[in-house]
Chain A
Amino acid sequence: MRIWQLRLVLRWFLLGLVVASCPGLAQTEDAQSHADIGIQFARAGDLVRAADELRKAVVLAPKNAEFLSTLGTVLAMDKKLEESTTTFRQALQLTPQDSIVRRYLAANLWQLHRYSEAKRELQIILRKHPDDAQARLLFGMVSENSGDYITAANMLSSVPKEVEKQPESIAALARSYYYLHDREKARATLQMLTSHASSVQSVLMGAQVADQAGDYEKAEQLLDSIGDSSDGENVRYRKATVQYHRGHFADCEQTLHPVFDRPGATAETYNLLGWCYHRLNKPKEATAAFEQAIALRPADESNYVDLIKVLEAHNFLRVGLDAAKRASDLFPNSAAIFNLKGSIESRLFQFTDAITSYKHSVQIQSTSSEGWLGLGRAQVSAGLILDATSTFTSAMQRFPNEMRLKVVYAEMLLKHADPSDRTASTQAEQLLKQAVANDATNPEAFFELGKVELDEGRLTDASQHLERAAKLLPQSSQVHYVLSRVYRRLNRTADAQRELETFQRLKRGRAPESQNDSLTDDAKPD
């Protein structure tokens, strides 16, 4: 639970205590004494014993809504949200008009990410008490979390005093405005954070909101307003993150470099610095930064993942494989690491090792298509066509919407089938047509389909699909080459010549051993 949420709950708890102490409520003597003891334990901070006592009170007086609501509150403070929710529902069955308890319940549901249920409870409150500021505030927060930014903005902006009290609600309102493309209002909202009581943390939060919304200018302005701060590390990190997202990698490096090898630098800082160096094409420096992050937080697998990705992107395959092996020993249940290991092994032509890695990944996380895709590819590369067929068939059933599986399987069918076997090429073409119909952004699908059509003499179709592939992957020499072949057969001599020249230019600009047109998938830090 975040601090501000705890404060909210405590406030309601105290309210509850006040109600509980009101005279005129009927309870048995034993139940009351358990309740009193429970409240004392709660005040002392012993929430477990507090809950035990209050449970006893409830057992003895099951129809006492106050005991139930107090128990529910204590349970919520102890993060036993499911039990707390059940308890609050029981209290509301007894006193359905109790809007405070209903609000507690909504808060629980919100924390449990059960947004639609939370909204229902809040709507009940607001139908009876439309001006309930707390309910409006909470409704706004729930709406923002569930992506209903219009309602969120309306609700939150209707209770400005409540919103101002919490930086989290200011942030939620600003986010809603950003999503509604109202940058002015978003900026004005974030500006409130600069005068907030917990100023530095609030402003950092605001800068993050602006950064995530792509309003880098506002993010930097907020960060610059902080000035000297005891939380300089966090400020520096946030500033560098914004610079990274803006594409100002040199600035990012300059911002973070002073912390290198200094005490106080965090693993996140080194991780971000590593990405900046990567973007600046400084792989050795990037490696050193990631290694620092790893040293500071050896149990965090993400730093290993990022290190291996960057090493592979820079074709340091041998070093990358060493890092992947080290990481796989430390994180034997990380599908991401085994996928990366398999990818590097494939690039080193160690296909049998790659198969082992990808099999492990699939065992760990069979619900992710990445492992299946890598496994199928590696099996094809190793010549295990029957195994690959089985892998792709299973994977396509599991992931019917993953078009990459269809494309790679189609490629395999086209490459490995006997040319006299028409069923394989027909099946491949069907798969490719499904892929292009369902994913207009997959260049390989358009490319392979275009080649099939070229071989079949369907030149007009071939040119359309290959032109699409060229738009999606303009830096692919192969696409331009095949397109030139199609144009030549269509007697579009000038177009053929143009594509051939593009092909030759792209080929000249490539490393000679690079024959793979796939783009590296660079992960960006948040």
Chain B
Amino acid sequence: MPRPGTIALIVFLMFAIALRKTESTPATASASNEIFTDITEQAGITWQQFGGESPDRFLIETMGGGVGFFDFDNDGLLDIFFVNGGETPHGKSPIPLSNALYRNLGDGRFENVAAKAGLDKLNFYGMGVAAADFDNDGYQDLYTTGYPASALYHNNRDGTFTDVTDKAGVKNAGKWAAGAAWFDYDRDGFLDLIITNYAQFSFEDPKKCELNRVRAYCVQTAYTGLPLTLYHNNGDGTFSDVSRRSGVDKFTGRGLGVVAVDVNDDGWPDLFIARDASPNLLLINKHDGTFEDIAQEAEVAYDQNGIAKAGMGVDAGDVNGDGIPDFVVTNFNDQYHSLFLGSKSLPFSDRTSASHLANLTRSFVGWGTKFLDYDNDGNLDVMLINGHINQEIESTRVDVKYKEPPLLLRNKGSGVFDDMRELAGATFQRSYLGRSLAIGDFDNDGDADAVFTTLNGRPVLLRNNSGQDNSWVGFSLQGTVSNRDAIGAKITVTSSGRTLTRWIVGGGSYLASQDKRVLVGLGSNAGPVDADIRWPNGIVQHLSNLQLRRYHQIVEPAASSSSKKSQN
């Protein structure tokens, strides 16, 4: 009688033979000849963002458009939430405005159920979204940011949400909030919330600026930055504002993108905060409820000349295979989108030029960005969403455009990138006023899909056609001692001598919320796959002989365990 392991191996080999083999070269699309296909229309997504564009040229008009992939009804399919902007004093909408919650129907189509869910109304000018299970009841809740307030919606588990902002104490009143990230900074098993506030702002105070004699949006330095907000989850449905106690309130600047990840591998989540013409922050968790900013010592606060770039979006991932998180940050035109390679010793390495990111992004204003392994070859690629803010830019520049194409950059290994424009799909040949980006496998076929928003326009939903050409393994983690979403977990996959490290990060990109499952591409590898999971609360779990081409539902064990097979 063959042993179970042998059966599994035979089954695997049958699958492997049935699949097309690929080399480690740019993956070509399968059915269509493009890596990503725009399926927005056939998916039934008709919602449009409204920025409130007006003659007053409030900067907020150019900056909204949050989007999140999350499974609100626990049917195993990722749904999509879009945050609308809003009206401004002289920027009115001809039609009623609303957010959108598109429920994934499972057949490539989506249905807007925001009204039914109670998420449609705009109670403030909307910016971003962060989805997570803050009360560990197994259902994803939503936090939306905006001006002059933000809101927390509790998932009622019946397809509806309740606004619990006031009860929870997370209104962040009076502030222009941009990014938000859920993370468990004190490792008590409940997700806390960090909010990046942007700038002092009022609709009563339209700043007057010009570009080429035409009224234009002011540079960001015309606005005074704000401190961060940190809410501690008390575990009882309420939060405490610990901004002062934690010390994050002294980090004043124009905060935008945020990602929570364990930078120094001490098991505690840290924060990278991208800021707009303010130095970026690299806040290291000191395990006592406070943080220390080491961005300057790490040389990620500024560019190489000491100039604070216009940091908008940020993501963390291991692009060079050394097991240490690296960071991509989107910036303004002429500043290049940055790539910092993390290091055990400071400073980090600024590889913006050496990675080709400088050359490829010089003319672009970047917003949402996310690492993804689009072709499942094991190397983390990156997608960047671009779009300018001033229509008049083309009257003063030859090389910078108002609408800009998104970028799909393939990692050749060790963090050097190629532009995949020619193969990526028609979307990457078109130009948009791109803003937020979320990555998620909405069709559960094992490759990373994407959705991005556009200012005053429709979003774009992209289906990945190429990732299934390679092997992959997926993880869906459920914390028990740790927070249920397992935000902060570190997954190390080894197979055929190769080690790949991934994290379930909090936040990431710009104003966006991501699929919390982890996809690990393995290329053409057919060998056995093992994984070590370090859960957020420190428990280490070893898994061996994982099946390829499937998601593994992993529940956090009560204590460290080794050589345990994955549970189905």
Residues of A within 8 A of B (CB): 318, 348-353, 382-384, 416, 418-419, 451, 477-478, 480-482, 485, 488, 500, 503, 507, 512-513, 515
Contact A351 B397 (CB under 8 A): yes
Query: CA–CA, A485 to B210, complex, Å?
Result: 37
Given A318-B210, A419-B359, A478-B306: A485 touches B395 (CB 8 Å cut-off): no
Residues in A whose Cβ lies below 8 Å from that of B359: 418-419
B397: min CB distance to chain A, Å: 6
B210 and A512 within 8 A (CB)? no
Judge whether B304 and A451 touch: CB under 8 Å: yes
Q: Kindly list the 10 A-B residue pairs having the minimum CB-CB distance in the complex, ordered from nearest.
A: A383-B399, A481-B306, A512-B221, A478-B305, A419-B353, A513-B221, A350-B396, A478-B306, A383-B398, A382-B398
Name which residue of chain B comes closest to A512, CB basis.
B221
| The one of A318, A416, A419, A481 that contacts B302, using a Cβ cutoff of 8 Å | A481
From residue B392, how far is it (CB to closest CB) to chain A in Å? 10
Partner of A482, one of B212, B305, B363: B305
**Closest A residue, CB atoms, query B305:** A478
Docked Cα-Cα span, A513 to B400, in Å, equals 21
Residues in chain B near residue A488, CB distance under 8 A: 297, 346-347
- Taking the complex as formed, is B105 at the interface, i.e. its CB lies under 8 A from any CB of chain A? no
From 322 to 372 in chain B, residues with beta carbon under 8 angstroms from any chain A beta carbon are: 346-347, 353-354, 356, 358-359, 362-363
Is B455 located at the chain interface by the 8 A CB criterion?
A: no
Does A419 lie within 8 Å of B398, measured CB to CB?
A: no
Question: Using Cβ atoms and an 8 Å threshold, which residues of chain B touch A382?
Answer: 396-399
Across the interface, do A478 and B212 meet the contact criterion of CB distance under 8 Å? no
**Which listed residue (B299, B358, B396) contacts A349, Cβ 8 A?**
B396
Q: How far apart sit A478 and B395, CA to CA, in the bound complex (Å)?
A: 30
In the assembled complex, the CB of A454 is this many whole angstroms from the nearest CB of chain B, namely 8
Across the interface, do B307 and A515 meet the contact criterion of CB distance under 8 Å?
A: yes
Residues 364 to 404 of chain B near chain A (Cβ within 8 Å):
395-400
Are A482 and B221 in contact, with the CB atoms below 8 A? no
* Any A CB within 8 A of the CB of B296: yes
Residue of A349, A350, A351, A419 touching B354 (CB-CB under 8 A): A419
User: Are the C-beta atoms of A350 and B212 separated by less than 8 Å?
Assistant: yes
Q: In whole angstroms, how far apart are the Cα atoms of A383 and B277 in the complex? A: 22
Docked pose: A480 CA to B356 CA in angstroms? 27
How distant is A446 from chain B, measured CB to nearest CB, in Å?
A: 14
A383 engages B363 (CB within 8 Å): yes
Alpha-carbon distance between A419 and B356 when the two chains are bound, in angstroms: 7
Pair count A-B, CB < 8 A: 65
**Partner pick for B347 among A351, A418, A485, CB 8 A cutoff:** A485
A residues within 8 A CB of B304?
451, 482, 485
- Contact: A352 with B398, CB < 8 Å? yes
> In the complex, what residues of A have CB within 8 A of residue B353's CB?
419
- Using CB atoms, name the residue of chain B closest to A485: B299
Interface size for B (C-beta < 8 A) is: 30
Question: What is the CA–CA distance of A422 and B398 in the complex, to the nearest angstrom?
Answer: 27
Chain B residues with CB under 8 A of A416: 362
Contact A513–B219 (Cβ < 8 Å): yes
Q: Which residues of chain B are within 8 angstroms of A353 by Cβ–Cβ distance? A: 212, 396
Within 8 A of A (CB), among B426-452: none
Q: Is the interface of A mostly helix, strand, loop or mixed?
A: helix
CB neighbours of B306 from chain A (8 A): 477-478, 480-482, 503, 507
Cβ-closest chain B residue relative to A354: B396
Selected A-B contacts with CB under 8 Å, 23 pairs: A350-B211, A350-B212, A352-B395, A352-B396, A352-B397, A383-B363, A383-B397, A383-B399, A384-B398, A416-B362, A418-B356, A419-B353, A419-B358, A477-B306, A480-B306, A481-B305, A482-B304, A488-B297, A488-B347, A500-B296, A512-B277, A513-B219, A515-B307
Chain B residue at smallest Cβ distance from A506: B306
- Neighbouring B residues of A419 by C-beta, 8 Å: 353-354, 356, 358-359
Q: How far is the CA of A53 from the CA of B231 in the complex (A)?
A: 105
Residues from chain B with a CB closer than 8 A to the CB of A418 are 356, 359
* A348: B residues at CB distance < 8 A: 211-212
Give Cα A352–Cα B400 distance, bound, in whole angstroms.
12
B221: A residues at CB distance < 8 A: 512-513
Docked pose: A418 CA to B297 CA in angstroms: 28
A54 CB to closest chain B CB (Å) equals: 64
Q: How far is the CA of A455 from the CA of B221 in the complex (A)?
A: 30
- Give B contacts to A, CB under 8 Å: 210-212, 219, 221-222, 277, 296-297, 299, 302, 304-307, 346-347, 353-354, 356, 358-359, 362-363, 395-400
| Closest beta carbon of chain B to A345's beta carbon, Å | 9
List, in ascending order, chain A residues with CB within 8 A of B399's CB.
Answer: 382-384
Given A383-B363, A512-B221, A512-B277, A478-B307 contact (CB < 8 Å): yes
Report the bound CA distance from A478 to B307 in whole Å.
7
Instruction: Please give 8 more A-B residue pairs, beta carbons under 8 A apart, in addition to A351-B396, A419-B353.
Output: A353-B212, A382-B397, A383-B363, A384-B399, A418-B359, A419-B359, A503-B306, A512-B277
C-alpha gap A481/B356 in the complex (Å) = 24
- How many angstroms between the C-alpha atoms of A353 and B399 in the bound complex? 15
Q: Which of A352, A480, A500 is packed against the most chain B CB atoms within 10 Å?
A: A352
A500, B304: Cα distance in complex, Å: 13
Q: Which of A418, A477, A480, A512: most chain B CB closer than 10 A?
A: A512
Q: State A353–B213 Cα separation when bound (angstroms).
A: 12
Q: Which residues of B contact A477 (CB under 8 A)?
A: 306
Complex-state Cα separation, A503 to B398, whole angstroms: 34
Look across to chain A and name the residue whose beta carbon is closest to the beta carbon of B363.
A383
Please indicate the chain A residues that have their CB under 8 angstroms from the CB of B363 in the complex.
383
A424 vs chain B, min Cβ distance (A): 12
Could you tell me the distance in whole angstroms from the C-beta of B361 to the nearest C-beta in chain A? 13
Q: Which residues of B contact A383 (CB under 8 A)?
A: 363, 397-400
CA distance A488 to B298 in the complex (A): 11
A355 to chain B, nearest CB (A): 9
Q: Are A349 and B210 in contact (CB under 8 A)?
A: no
- Contact yes or no, B398 A349, CB < 8 A: no
* Cα separation A304 to B459 with both chains bound (whole Å): 52
- Among residues of A, the one whose C-beta sits closest to the C-beta of B225 is A512
A504's nearest neighbour on chain B, judged by CB, is B296
Distance in Å: Cβ of B454 to nearest Cβ of chain A: 24
Residue of B nearest to A515 (CB): B307
Check A349–B307 contact: CB distance below 8 A.
Answer: no
Q: How far is the CA of A482 from the CA of B304 in the complex (A)?
A: 7
Complex CA–CA separation, A451 to B350 (angstroms): 13
Q: With the chains together, A192 CA to B501 CA distance in Å? A: 90
| Interface-centre pick from B221, B297, B306, B399 (highest chain A CB count, 10 A) | B306
Tell me which residues across on chain A come within 8 A of B219, comparing CB atoms: 513
Q: Name which residue of chain A comes closest to B394, CB basis.
A: A352
Minimum Cβ distance to chain A for residue B515 (Å): 33
B307 to chain A, nearest CB (A): 6
Question: Which residues of chain B are within 8 angstroms of A485 by Cβ–Cβ distance?
Answer: 299, 304, 347
What distance in Å separates the Cβ of B351 from its nearest Cβ neighbour in chain A? Answer: 10
The residue on A at minimum CB distance from B359 is: A418
CB contacts (< 8 Å) of A318 on chain B: these are 210
Q: Name the A residues within 8 Å of B397 (CB-CB).
A: 349, 351-352, 382-383
B62–chain A nearest beta-carbon distance, Å:
17
CA distance in complex: A382, B399 (Å) = 7
Please name all residues of chain A whose beta carbon is closer than 8 Å to the beta carbon of B395 when the two chains form the complex: 350, 352
Query: What residues of A have a CB within 8 angstroms of the CB of B358 in the complex?
Result: 419
What is the minimal beta-carbon distance from A489 to any residue of chain B, in angstroms? 8
Cα–Cα, bound, A513→B296 (Å): 20
- CB contacts (< 8 Å) of B356 on chain A: these are 418-419
Q: Which residues of B contact A513 (CB under 8 A)?
A: 219, 221-222
Q: Which of A349, A451, A477, A480 has the most CB of B within 10 A?
A: A349
CA distance A351 to B222 in the complex (A): 22
Q: B347 to chain A: which residues have CB within 8 Å?
A: 485, 488
Q: Which residue of B lies closest to A489 (CB)?
A: B347
Closest A residue to B218 by beta carbon equals A513
A482 to B307, CA, bound (A): 11
Q: Least Cβ distance of A508 to chain B in Å?
A: 12
Q: How far is the CB of B286 from chain A (nearest CB, A)?
A: 20
How far, in Å, is A432 (CB) from chain B's closest CB? 15
**Bound Cα distance A203, B306 (Å):** 54
User: Chain A residue with minimal CB distance to B224?
Assistant: A512
